[in-house]
Amino acid sequence: MKTEIPITRPLFDDREIEALAQVIRSGWVTQGPKVAEFEKAVSDYTGARYAVATTSWSTAMFLAMHIKGIGPGDEVILPSFTCVATANAIRATGAMPVFVDMDRRTFNLDPNLIEPAITPRTKAVMAVHYYGMAADMDAINAVARRHNLWVFEDAAVALGASYQGKKVGNLGAPTGFSFHGRKIITTGDGGMLTTNDEELAARARIVRSHGVSVSDFARHQAKGALIQDYVELGYNFRMTDLQGAVGVEQMKKLPLILSRRQALAARYDEMLAEMPEVETPYVPPGYEHSYQTYLVWLTPKCRVSLEDILKATAARGVSCRHSIICHTQPFYRKLCGELRLPVTEEAARRTLALPLYPQMTEEEQNYVVATLKDVLVGGTR
């Protein structure tokens, strides 16, 4: 008989509902005081000097690249093993994404492959802290410095991750976070750009709001008329105050969310250690993984195809996932041509994401592991 693993988390808890009600009563709907409070919470947590809230990760990183002058004719190096949004944000500037292979152990960009991909058109490197594991930023930054390249960091899924004692978001480069529903914390959707660059932050606040010199918040707070000018081409990338209110409450929960994810990941590590068909995630010394996703390798001892595993686990009520890679997608195959990235392509065929969420019970986790073991050892009958 099919057993369903229940979803135990309500959309909003009582504290978040009250925060939303306060915003509605205040009359604020567009960007306002709660967005500013949320920005400060993210800035304080990461250690970055500035945080700029946006409608999504994509708009946050587009802002950073656009302001730094990335555009048509430029190339940006990135891993193919990432969400297609990473490549899309680059392409939205008019620049060309240049895909390279990944480090098998960390699932992140292999720094040794950056230099061979550099051409006279290369302008930047996009490091991706994928699935909550920081990229090797010392090595990436070293290559970028030698070739005078900008570095940007995709931390869409990595809020809470650390690298050599520093939080992701404060590792030196402009960094984008996502607050989509599947991320570490959520505002329903939304994003955040963190930076230590005062000029970048100031311009990002202008460009995200139609290029206006005065924010909505400042204009509505002013006593009397406040003249505004539109100083450059801008966009509507503003987070709403309703989202900001949820973000403020979510940030209060972040330490608990992270500790629970990490505890569940450690329990997976222990429970899967005796399964030769599975290789658990590797975390290098000096790194703290936020475990937005718990991704395992299927070893050569696994005789069941990834497709069959996904079908068989789903039939038992366990929602596992496979990884999407960018360079084989029809749009990017047509744009960039046929590429051969062997480690990335192997990962697409032989990695499996297991269910992991803060409200997951040990009973639910036991069921996931038992189901996986039955499918891998007993087949897909």
Active-site residues: which are they? Answer: 183
C-beta separation of 22 from 245 below 8 A: yes
Sign of the alpha-carbon torsion through 46, 48, 49, 52: negative
The alpha carbon torsion through 324, 51, 24, 157 (nearest 10 deg) reads 20
Scored b (16 or more CB within 10 A) or e, 232-262 reads eebbebbbbbbbbbbbbbbbeebeebbebbb
The CA angle 202-204-210, to the nearest 5 degrees, is 110
Structure token pair of residue 23:
């915003």
Could you give the residue ranges of the DSSP H alpha helices within the chain? 14-26, 33-46, 57-67, 84-92, 114-117, 137-146, 198-207, 216-221, 241-272, 306-315, 330-336, 342-350, 362-378
Q: List, as one string, the DSSP characters of 46-96.
A: H--SEEEEES-HHHHHHHHHHHTT--TT-EEEEESSS-HHHHHHHHHTTPE
C-beta separation of 121 from 75 below 8 A: yes
Q: List, as one string, the DSSP characters of 358-376.
A: TT--HHHHHHHHHHHHHHH
